Amino acid sequence: MSSTFETVANIIAETCDIPRENITPESHAIDDLGIDSLDFLDIAFAIDKAFGIKLPLESWTQEVNEGKATTEQYFVLKNLCARIDELIAAKSA
């Protein structure tokens, strides 16, 4: 998780021009860092490429829109990184 977070934080800092020190595991990508959906596509692309996965953005968005999940579950960075680790584990299983 820690190395995953470092990679994700660096991607966000570079993609969105956000100072790296402002990005913590507790940061909410939307509410705290102000990342919009278009910028998140660039982040998703960089994450997909860096980890060799495919973030299921569509199903996450659908779950949030239907009230089945909260944005915190997917967009607080420590939770996002946990999801990424799950996807990496599933890929190598």
Partner 1 sequence: MRLEYFQMVDKVLALDLEARTLRTANTVPDKSPIFEGHFPGHPLLPGVLLFEIMAQSCGMLLLRLNNYDRMAFLASVDKGKLRTFVVPGQVIEVFAEMVHDGSGYARLKAEGRVEGKLVCNAEVTLKTMPFPAPELRGYLLETAERIGMPMGAPAELGSAAPASAGNLTHV
Residue in 8, 29, 35, 55 binding partner 1, rule: CB under 8 A: 55
Q: Write down the least CB distance from residue 74 to partner 1, Å.
A: 12
Cross-strand partners of 28 = 76
Per CB under 8 A, 38 contacts partner 1: yes
Contact 12, 23 (CB under 8 A): yes
Q: Please report whether residue 36 would count as binding partner 1 according to CB under 8 A.
A: no
Structure tokens at 21: 């020190």
28: Cα separation from own chain's centroid:
9
What residues make contact with partner 1 under the rule CB under 8 A? 38, 41-42, 44-45, 48-49, 54-59, 61
